[in-house]
Structure 1
């Protein structure tokens, strides 16, 4: 049975582990499981603790440090997905879409000063998508029932069809209402840790459970990995960690380290790991670590529904999932600037009563990855003495045109639905988000990439990265499914090469 405990309560001998995984989110957990399936003894280090069922993201995450986003403003950026065992999956909206080949070869649409195309194809990911869909019990796949459209989703579907836009049902990693251990529609579940485990997560779907595996997984939380210490042969020797509970500094020896801390924190860890062998940080010989930072361009339009002549479903509170209906009509479309758009989907507010009289749409696409968009370490330090993170980030004209096009289409849908007034929420993606990508780019050339196609850092023998930071283009849809599938692919490749 997997042990999950605070690191201060652990009495393990770290030399007993074959691999250390940094981060217990979707990528770290599936990488750990993949290795344990093959008999490895794996330790997973996590900064945050266990998340209480029913916890909301905002209050939970408020205790963790923020990032600077301007030269003279407060630390108002979000450098985390979520701090806790299971990572962002504890609070995500469970949208589980696959990427398309266009996401992996976006250079046909976008031109930047960085490599945009992934060093793999969609065919490389497809078997792992199927495995993840089975593990997460994704609706509409592997014989799992489809998740029914919400009453608002049905209204949006009708409005889309009237405009010649094809609506689709969103594949959700949530057991539908009325099924075994299904959703009880207790709330609008975005940013909520599911209290019943109907929504898939690392823990709810036993991804970290090693009881039926030949190897073992030990999860040690309450540990911040500050630095990777090197031997002079380009090999990781130990992780230098800080335990906030006891203000203790500990050193954990490693045979193999797999970093899955998210695209911001992974890059920051490499930049903090300077040494005589890596004077600019691990993997940063070509000054690429942290560059190509991508949050996804995204925004929301809110339709204020008039009571006269409006369907009652649009006026009532919404209980249930964040989204059930979307359109990919403008994913690749000649009318979109650059020909490359993204998704528009139903996006209910977290508070059920906050939806009364309102219908909200989200539009999302991957931004152009430019080298001037990056993660850097600031001179200021947090209360624990860790350098603060700074985002240097600005969207291109193409980004602005593409997201503007999607916003206009969303507004058209809401007008047709009967919205008397439409408001666009201020764009906030430049402050960071739960979609973090692109700071440890993958490829075969060390001059243009940081890791190879299997996640090993160029020039280092036992340091691997398997999270969203290796995504050369962020993709035009929600990334959790792809991050997990790609992490499993890389972990399986690592296992074949090194055992």
Structure 2
């Protein structure tokens, strides 16, 4: 049984919950479901509310505080999305699995932090399969792959002619051939799917599943300000702010699982300073907030004459953001450090924007350095919450690796017949939907914040199970892996 309501309308006895989860996105929702499968009673606290079908990401997020960046301006993105269901309400449904090289990237990269994950890809395998079943990911468990778009077809042909192997992207979108499949109502990116063809934690009943033996209560409109702990490091309660009523409420906890994203989870720990945790919870080694990673990424846009490729291929685009990619340069001797990433089709937000244009996205994991971090600023927002400030600078290896992928993307567009190519100014250093690091996982408390099951070192009942525990960001889109790893950790909870 699942109950979703504004916290002001709830009449909960919080002492009856076996766990309280902070954040209802990809990680928090799968943790809640995993615990409910065990018969647990779970509360999920979410800052944002329910979003309507067809809502756009930009206008929705405008109400929430930005982060301060190196420019001194509040132009950073410390959220994926503030809403029930989190960023999956707006994402593009690209659901890659990571590879062992993503979990053991020290064979290619070297920094002043632990890079390798304390687990192997085999540890994630059963959870990947379970997520693929729940999300109906194309090409898995008998679910049809989403067909390539007209642009995807011409990109595939161009790649093959260059000796580059194209592939179909695994999408968590029901194919148009399905009776409840995609109807191509728009260019599908940064909007809430109006038909539920695209998977989310709500559209696929990951949160709201009446068949679960336990119970989930999602309480939104609640910002978790700090965690109160005892002298032994055990969490006693959460101090929460309710903007609707401007009141502070205290929620007692048996155990707390933080899944607020790599920015907000670390910020919560830093805000939780006390005489028992003078530097913040889990921060005895000054690691909370460090190793901040956004993924290095960029876009190239090729301008073509429709007569060169066929008018249908370069007409307005309706449907998924991306259908075709290449992983030719994921691990490749020609790439700087021999470790690259992905290049894939990336259609623009509005169908008409795509007329005469082909856009490619390139993406790779950034090197995690301790100087890349978030801190709490002295300035607070209108609710009295300190602004998050990013201190972030890419390494020479980052620039070389993303530059190589950009050049290969341009090669594809030139071969396609692009008469002009423009590279969009990169803005990944301001944050994005790919947020990683800041609460690193490992066995040694001097080198990590949480253990391999997400438990904060030095605490018996505080856990972190989102993208913040990722020691290396990985070279592909993280949603599938964040969910699989969160489920792996949640399964270990007794």
Q: TM-score, normalised by structure 1?
A: 0.98
Aligned counterparts of 2:166 and 2:312: Cα–Cα separation in 1 = 18
Matched, 1:123 2:101: no
SS of equivalent residue, structure 1 residue 451? coil
In the TM superposition, residue 409 of structure 1 has moved relative to its aligned partner by 0.2
Count of aligned pairs between the two proteins: 494
Q: 1:51 maps to what in 2?
A: 51
In the TM superposition, residue 296 of structure 1 has moved relative to its aligned partner by 0.1
In the TM superposition, residue 440 of structure 1 has moved relative to its aligned partner by 0.1
Aligned counterparts of 1:225 and 1:207: Cα–Cα separation in 2 = 23
In the TM superposition, residue 209 of structure 1 has moved relative to its aligned partner by 1.9
SS of equivalent residue, structure 2 residue 75? strand
Bigger mean CA offset, 308-317 vs 35-44? 308-317
In the TM superposition, residue 232 of structure 1 has moved relative to its aligned partner by 1.4
Aligned counterparts of 1:476 and 1:315: Cα–Cα separation in 2 = 29
Aligned counterparts of 1:162 and 1:170: Cα–Cα separation in 2 = 19
Spell out the pairing of 1:180-259 with structure 2 (5 A cutoff): 180-259=179-258
Q: TM-score, normalised by structure 2?
A: 0.99
Spell out the pairing of 1:170-185 with structure 2 (5 A cutoff): 170-185=169-184
Matched, 1:416 2:419: no
Q: 1:41 maps to what in 2?
A: 41
Aligned counterparts of 1:280 and 1:434: Cα–Cα separation in 2 = 28
Aligned counterparts of 1:78 and 1:36: Cα–Cα separation in 2 = 32
SS of equivalent residue, structure 1 residue 75? coil
Give unmatched runs, 5+ long, in structure 2. none
Spell out the pairing of 1:72-221 with structure 2 (5 A cutoff): 73-221=72-220
Residues 36 and 210, structure 1, Cα contact 8 Å, conserved in 2? no
Residues 185 and 319, structure 2, Cα contact 8 Å, conserved in 1? yes
Aligned counterparts of 2:55 and 2:344: Cα–Cα separation in 1 = 25
Q: 2:32 maps to what in 1?
A: 32
Spell out the pairing of 1:478-493 with structure 2 (5 A cutoff): 478-493=477-492
Aligned counterparts of 2:352 and 2:303: Cα–Cα separation in 1 = 14
Residues 314 and 359, structure 1, Cα contact 8 Å, conserved in 2? no
Aligned counterparts of 1:108 and 1:74: Cα–Cα separation in 2 = 37
Aligned counterparts of 2:107 and 2:176: Cα–Cα separation in 1 = 42
Give unmatched runs, 5+ long, in structure 1. none
Q: 2:351 maps to what in 1?
A: 352
Q: 1:426 maps to what in 2?
A: 425
SS of equivalent residue, structure 1 residue 68? coil
Aligned counterparts of 1:313 and 1:468: Cα–Cα separation in 2 = 39
Residues 210 and 217, structure 1, Cα contact 8 Å, conserved in 2? no
Q: 2:456 maps to what in 1?
A: 457
**After the TM superposition, which segments of 4 or more aligned residues of structure 1 sit over 4 Å from their partners?**
none
Q: What do you get for the CA RMSD once the two structures are aligned? A: 0.7
Q: 1:289 maps to what in 2?
A: 288
In the TM superposition, residue 486 of structure 1 has moved relative to its aligned partner by 0.2
In the TM superposition, residue 350 of structure 1 has moved relative to its aligned partner by 1.2
In the TM superposition, residue 259 of structure 1 has moved relative to its aligned partner by 0.2
Deviations 1:219-271 (A, max 9, x none): 00000000000111210000000000110100000000000000000000000
Aligned counterparts of 1:264 and 1:204: Cα–Cα separation in 2 = 26
Aligned counterparts of 1:444 and 1:50: Cα–Cα separation in 2 = 38
